[in-house]
Amino acid sequence: MDLIWLVLALPLLGSLINGLLGRHLPKRLIGWVACGSVGLAFLISLRILFDLLALSPNQRVPPQTLFDWISVSGLSTQISLLVDPLSTLMILVVTGVGFLIHVYSVGYMSHDSDYSRYFSWLNLFTFSMLVLVLADNFLLLFVGWELVGLCSYLLIGFWFTRPSAAAAAKKAFIVNRIGDFGFLIGLFLLFATFGTLDYLKIFEAAAVPHALPELTATVITLLLFAGAVGKSAQIPLYVWLPDAMEGPTPVSALIHAATMVTAGVYMVARSHDLYMLAPFSMNIVAAVGAVTALMAASIALVNNDIKRVLAYSTVSQLGYMFLAAGVGAFSAGMFHLTSHAFMKALLFLAAGSVMHALGGEETDMRKMGGLRKVIPWTWGVFLIGALAMSGIFPLVGFFSKDLILEEAFSNDYVALWLIGLFTALLTAFYMLRAYFLTFHGKPRYDEKAVHPHESPAVMLWPLRGLAALTIIGGILWISWMGFTPLNEFLSPVFAGVAEGGREHTAALSEGALIAISLLVALAGIGIAWLVYIRGFQPGEALRKTFRPFYTLLEGKYYVDELYYSVIVQPGRLLSQFLATVFDLRLLDGLVNGVGALIDRAGGALRRVESGYIRNYAAWVLLGTLGILIYWLMR
Amino acid sequence: MSDYLILSGVLFAIGALGVLVRRNALIVFMSIELMLNAVNLAFVSFARQLNDMTGQVIVFFVLVVAAAEVVVGLAIIVNIFRTKETVDIDDIDLLRG
Amino acid sequence: MITRSKPVHSAIAFLGTLVSLAGLFLLLYAQFVAILQIVIYAGAILVLFLFVIMLLHARSGEGSVEKLRLQRPLAIVLSLALLAGVSFLFLQAGLSEAPTPAAGMGTAEEVGKTLFDHFILPFEVASVLLLAGILGAVVLSKKESWS
């Protein structure tokens, strides 16, 4: 437990070493430093897990203070870490999945000239996320929050020479900033209400009945949720995530699986004590989650870019997590976060492997196909990932997604349950669509120019590891005679959450629910198979009916365009006005005016400096006379 | 007693006039010496008037400063003459703005 | 002194002024200062001036063109104003008869006593100043031997 600081220090150290000395180090060493630091952090996290397990459940919340950070009268914040089951789960996910992604990157980035910069930032990203999840107060959480935003900016724009990458990085940063704004105001309000930003103190104070007016709680939680919406890419701020695909693929994997986007879910789960006090906020969270899940999944149906399909899939799955949090099933949300980390990292890395096989940067699925035989390992793991994402038993995705739907149903959110179910259908369809397009059918890439090859072992091993996790991850939530490992582990944290609704109101038994969602997933897979393998062509009438939908989806609901015309354009006009009129005329006028004044004055005074000593002497004498006259006048 | 003081004032004014009017660096320099001497005269007069030796001692210091100044100043003039071939101070206008 | 066009004449005139001043110092019971005046000013400084004048002799005249036409009238006005002001100050002070001088006033002994009783630090500083002057002169008149 005392080693917890090392979990933070190691990635930071790795980042510093690679960042400062990287240019003088051989590539092998850089890779070792980067992977080693995260790997060691993972081992320490494991050790902490066992330390925690050794304690009795209600003792598992010991915060650890590292040092005082800000100490102003009234506001005293320490750099102190909170090690409880929730944060332990998060650091395990972050360091574990992060480690595999680091290893994968060694192979994936091996030809990049900015090797050390890449790994330095990757380590920094891991470090930032660890700060975020280990913080024991909202301020330190916010520091991690912003650091993560910065790192995402750096890494999305890693290939900053491409205009599209630079634009995507900027977009991610700005969109995040909108959410952060709300988050920051939420923090102010928290501090104004409680006089502290410590989790434990706040939750303790909030736990007192009627201590916190519901209105205040609602406002605070909604503001905090605004931050989560930005960071975790929910409606309406999800637009940055698909564009974030401009970064290197392992970075996408890191953003989507281990770090960054899960921060919002984590934050909501962490402040569940507050959310429980604000039913309205809970409903908003659940609704936003469900709608985002549906919308993003529908966009993913028609997208042809393999990475973007995965990105929309992430948005959709994050929607599931918020749905879970919104209906009060926080541990289900955290479980889905974990399982999603496995699946999405697997899928992204497999997609990266496909791109690698096709010689680099090809992401258009229309130019793939028939890769099954050529890159068998990648094929295998991608299939596992796709099936898991679709929710097929016994892969981890089945357990977590089904759990969320079950919770939604049993907590009487039937409408949300239906949305979630329909989304599950879409999910199965688009995942298998991506799979079929990529690996089956005839090769559509240029066979003369491209010779697909399997990735090196250093990239395959992380894939195998993640595939194994995806397969066995389900045991975290298998009930062994009423004992669910993860639920039991997390229960001290979510002790305050009422276990209401469970089982009693269920109109359908648990078994029926499971059967329904399995059937739905299979249906999605079946449709995908029909369309993309059997080449089923829908009839003319059907096509006509769905034409507008298709266009709408292909245009991604035109949200980007909407934002562009509603927000970006007016902003640009305003900036234009400020730049041409306000800045040029007024500000520059002022500055230039001062300059001109000094210039003129200088020009006039210049004549005084004639260079003739006698002239200067005359001035001296004049001055003396002045003093003399002053004396006489006195 | 005032006569001495006024004489010192006259000498000082003559020195100042010399500094302002003459363009030969050497003569300007001598004019400055003359001004110093005028001040010396004033000091000695006051020493006499107030019956205090301090005035005379200060004259001694003024002499020291004058000597040092003359040495350095003349060296500068010689140097300038070497480079610019002139001692007309109006030709030395590097400080012109 | 300031009206002569040739520096040598000016120097001679200056010598006359210095000697006269020495006489006035004698009248003011400042024998030691008078001697110093003769020895240092007339003996050392003026001789130095003459040397420099000799060194630069023929070419040491002023340019024939007066560039600052306003300078001369301005200088006269300023100097007269200064004289008027100072004289006014002195006359206003209304000094009358000088008191009887104290015994031994102005002798080398008295000057020395005052000097070393009250002005020992300035005295040392003055010696440093002289040293600096000597060094400065040497450095300045060296013919760019370095560089």
Residue C34 has pLDDT above 60, yes or no: yes
Same-domain pairing of A117 and A235? yes
Tokens describing residue A621: 């004498």
**How much is the pLDDT for A451?**
74
Structure tokens at A291: 């709608």
Residue B96 has its nearest CB partner, among A605, A610, A618, at: A610
Choosing among 3.40.50.970, 3.60.21.10, 3.40.50.2000, 1.10.287.3510, the CATH entry for B2-91 is 1.10.287.3510
DSSP-assigned letter for residue A495: T
The list of chain A residues with pLDDT below 70 reads: 1-2, 56-78, 360-361, 479-484, 495-509, 537-543, 555
pLDDT of B4 > 60? The answer is yes
Q: Decide if A502 is inside a domain.
A: no
C-alpha–C-alpha distance, residues A503 and A506, integer Å? 5
* Domain coordinates in residue numbering, chain B: 2-91
Q: Are A431 and A390 in contact (CB under 8 A)?
A: yes
A 10 A CB-CB count for A442 gives 6
A609/B93 touch (CB, cutoff 8 Å), yes or no: no
- The reply to whether omega before A248 is within 30° of 0 (cis) is no
Instruction: Determine the pLDDT at residue C20.
Output: 92
Q: Which positions 62-91 of C are in contact with B (Cβ < 8 Å)? A: 62-63, 66-68, 71-72, 74-76, 78-80, 82-83, 86-87, 90-91
Kindly report the pTM of this predicted structure.
0.66
Within a domain: A208:
no
Q: Are residues A535 and A568 in the same domain?
A: no
C1-62 in CATH: which number?
1.20.120.1200
Question: Which residue among B21, B89, B95 places its CB closest to the CB of A609?
Answer: B95
3-state DSSP assignment of residue A412: coil
C-alpha neighbours within 13 Å on the C-beta side of residue A58:
2
Give the number of domains in chain A.
3
Q: What digits encode the pLDDT tens for the residues A472-525?
A: 887 777 765 556 677 777 777 776 665 443 444 445 667 777 888 888 888 888
ipTM for the predicted complex:
0.85
As a residue count, chain C comes to 147
Q: Measured between beta carbons, which residues in chain A are less than 8 angstroms from residue B86?
A: none
SS3 assignment, position A440? coil
With CA atoms as reference, report the closest residue to C18 among B23, B78, B63, B72. B63
* Interchain CB contact of C76 with A (< 8 Å): no
Task: Tell me if B95 and A621 make a contact (CB, 8 A cut-off).
Answer: no
> CA A583, A588, A592: angle at the middle one, nearest 5?
175
Helix, strand, coil content of chain C in percent (nearest 5) = 70, 0, 30
The whole-angstrom separation of Cα A546 and Cα A541 is 9
What totals of helices (H) and strands (E) does chain A contain, helices first?
Answer: 26, 2
* Residue boundaries of the structural domains of chain C: 1-62, 103-147
| Mean pLDDT, residues C105-115 taken together | 83
Give the C-alpha separation, A607 to A609, whole Å. Answer: 5
Q: Alpha carbon of A331 to those of A89, A165, A268, A494, A517: distances in Å?
A: 11, 36, 11, 7, 20
Q: Does the CB of C82 have a partner CB in chain A at under 8 Å?
A: yes
- Rounded to 5, what percent of chain B is helix, strand, coil? 80, 0, 15
Span between the terminal Cα atoms of chain A, in Å = 82
Contact A125, A156 (CB under 8 A): no
Q: How far apart are CA B2 and CA B41, in angstroms?
A: 12
Residue A526 and residue A628 in one domain:
no
C75/B21 CB distance under 8 A: yes
Residue A466 sits in the same domain as residue A603: no
- For residue A480, being part of any structural domain is answered with yes
- Residue A284 inside a domain? The answer is no
Q: How many CA atoms lie less than 13 Å away from A88 in the CB half-sphere?
A: 25
Between CA A320 and CA A407, with CA A496 as vertex, the angle to 5 degrees is 30
Among B1, B6, B57, which would you mutate to test the C interface (most chain C Cβ atoms within 10 Å of its Cβ)? B57
C120 touches chain B (CB under 8 A): no
Question: Can you give the pLDDT at residue B41?
Answer: 92
Do A266 and A132 touch, CB atoms closer than 8 A? yes
* Residue A112: alpha-carbon gap to chain centroid: 24
Rounded Cα distance between A384 and A368, Å, is: 19
How far apart are the CA of B95 and the nearest CA of chain C, in angstroms?
16
Q: Are A308 and A245 in contact (CB under 8 A)?
A: yes
Q: Are strands A75-82 and A63-72 parallel, antiparallel or unpaired?
A: antiparallel
Shared-domain flag, residues A6 and A139: yes
In a domain, A219, yes or no: no
**A77 sits in which H/E element:** strand A75-82
Two tokens at A265? Answer: 């879910």
Its domain, for residue A374, covers: 289-494+508-553
What does pLDDT average to over chain C? 82
Question: Contact C52/B78, CB-based, under 8 Å?
Answer: yes
> Would you say A238 and A249 are in contact if contact means Cβ atoms under 8 Å apart?
no
| Residue showing tokens 């205090």 | B52
Integer Cα distance of A51 and A1 in angstroms: 6
What CATH number did the domain enclosing A625 receive? 1.20.5
Give the span between the Cα atoms of A577 and A562, in whole angstroms.
22
Question: What is the average pLDDT across C80-98?
Answer: 81
Cβ atoms of residues A83 and A199 within 8 Å: no
Determine the pLDDT at residue A501.
39
Helix (H, G, I), strand (E, B) or coil at B12: helix
